[in-house]
Amino acid sequence: MSETKKPVSRRSFLKTGGLAAGAAAGALATPAIVSAQETMTLKMQSSWPSSDIFQEMAKQYADRVEAMSGGRLTVDLLPAGAVVQAFQVQDAVADGVLDAAHTVTAYWYGKNKAASLFGTGPVFGADASQILAWIHFGGGKELYAELVQDILGLNVVGFFALPMPTQPLGWFKDEITSADQMQGLKYRTVGLATDIMQGMGLSVTQLPGGEIVPALERGVIEAFEFNNPTSDRRFGAQDVSKHYMLGSYHQAAEFFEIIVNKDLYESLDSDLQAILEYAAEAANTANYGLAMDQYSKDLQALMSEDGVNVHRTPQAIMEAQLESWDTVLQDLTQDAFFKKVVDSQKEWSERVAFYSLMNQADYKLAYNHYFPGKLDS
């Protein structure tokens, strides 16, 4: 007996076929949905005390990672000293003791002085924003990876955020009017700034921010710089010194370094890797906005409420700094990798700073036009 086949209507096919396809798709999609709902918590420590504005900036990064990942990545952000000391976070991340850290390259410059070129290097006319652009577009990212992974063999990957405003020359017992006054001063700074300030005759000690005031109280240092009016005011600089010198070439192009354990990073899905990287760029904007708002407020408060005398560092001192940079570079560029980084930055600065300096408006002229006498008061 032969079987008579019934014709299948298009509506029936679409209905049954659609259900079957939907069921199959659902079976395939279910594991992905479960995976997307899984969360991983990254243990991240900064190099900053919990009270420092830098810790707030680190949190701006952590918040963006969590939001951009839809909660798949959460960040347990800890302050300096919670697991390791401020200068030890790089080793802790490389060894897997920490998953990530928020720091600056100058804090591990003892491993290789070229580290300081990725944040506290010489000034060839380009500012911090332009040197951060060199990181992304001028070969800096590749040179950083070569230093960290190939030369030092460290199990980390790193990203950068916040082109920092020029860091003040610092806090002194008296106004500094000439380089001669600085001879023999016991002074705190970090990174290559150590070399250039020593070249100017200062006795330099490297300390994390949280140790500065205790060192002043013990007489270990007599003068210091940290970074900005907000950080300085929060740890009480105004209580131990009353003369604040603004403007310097010792650290005029720094930014944060955000590092992640390389094995952990490479184990993540590609979208999460991208989030860890590009959240640094998102934090850039948030960090800078917070800095402009808070730094300017605290500078005014230092003057009006705390009795601090704010001075512009004389040009003669900055010229002396440039001469000291020349000597330091002559020495350190004997190292082939150090020279390669410096040459790259110099080539970038010659082109980029030329454009910027030739093109930018005279902001000081405009400020004096609308707020006459304030800069000279």
CA distances (Å), origin 60, targets 63, 151, 259: 5, 31, 15
CA distance 240 to 243: 10
Residue 329 counted as domain residue: yes
Sheet holding 256-261, edge to edge: 73-78, 40-46, 100-103, 256-261, 156-161
Is 280 in contact with 258 (CB distance < 8 Å)? Answer: yes
3-state DSSP assignment of residue 50: coil
Number of folded domains that form the chain = 2
Q: Which domain covers residue 217, as residue numbers?
A: 170-251+308-356
* Residue 102, strand partner residues: 46, 258
| Structure tokens given for 316 | 């003669």
- CATH number of the domain within which 271 lies: 3.40.190.170
φ, ψ of residue 245 in degrees (nearest 5): -100, 120
Residue 127 counted as domain residue: yes
Say yes or no: 137 and 276 in one domain. Answer: yes
Residue 74 DSSP class: E
Which residue in 75, 103, 78 sits closest to 88, CA to CA?
Answer: 103
Sheet holding 186-188, edge to edge: 203-205, 186-188, 223-224, 170-172, 243-246, 309-312
pLDDT in tens, 262-320: 999 999 999 999 999 999 999 999 999 999 999 999 999 999 999 999 999 999 999 99
Say yes or no: 113 and 244 in one domain. Answer: no
φ, ψ of residue 200 in degrees (nearest 5): -95, 5
Residue 15 counted as domain residue: no
CA distance 107 to 192: 10
Residue 79 counted as domain residue: yes
Q: Which of 242, 262, 292 is the last residue of a domain?
A: 292
pLDDT per residue of the chain (377 residues) written in tens, 0 to 9 = 444 434 444 334 334 444 344 444 444 444 343 344 589 999 999 999 999 999 999 999 999 999 999 999 999 999 999 999 999 999 999 999 999 999 999 999 999 999 999 999 999 999 999 999 999 999 999 999 999 999 999 999 999 999 999 999 999 999 999 999 999 999 999 999 999 999 999 999 988 878 888 898 888 999 999 999 999 999 899 998 999 999 999 999 999 999 999 999 999 999 999 999 999 999 999 999 999 999 999 999 999 999 999 999 999 999 999 999 999 999 999 999 999 999 999 999 999 999 999 999 999 999 999 999 999 75
Residue 134 counted as domain residue: yes
Q: What pLDDT score was predicted for residue 208?
A: 85
Residue 2 counted as domain residue: no
Neighbouring residues of 244: CB distance < 8 A, sequence distance ≥ 6? 168, 170, 171, 229, 232, 237, 302, 308, 309, 310, 311
Using the structure block, give the residue that is written with the tokens 């601090």: 308
CA distance 130 to 123: 11
Say yes or no: 56 and 146 in one domain. Answer: yes
Helices (H), 38-73: 53-68
Say yes or no: 133 and 260 in one domain. Answer: yes
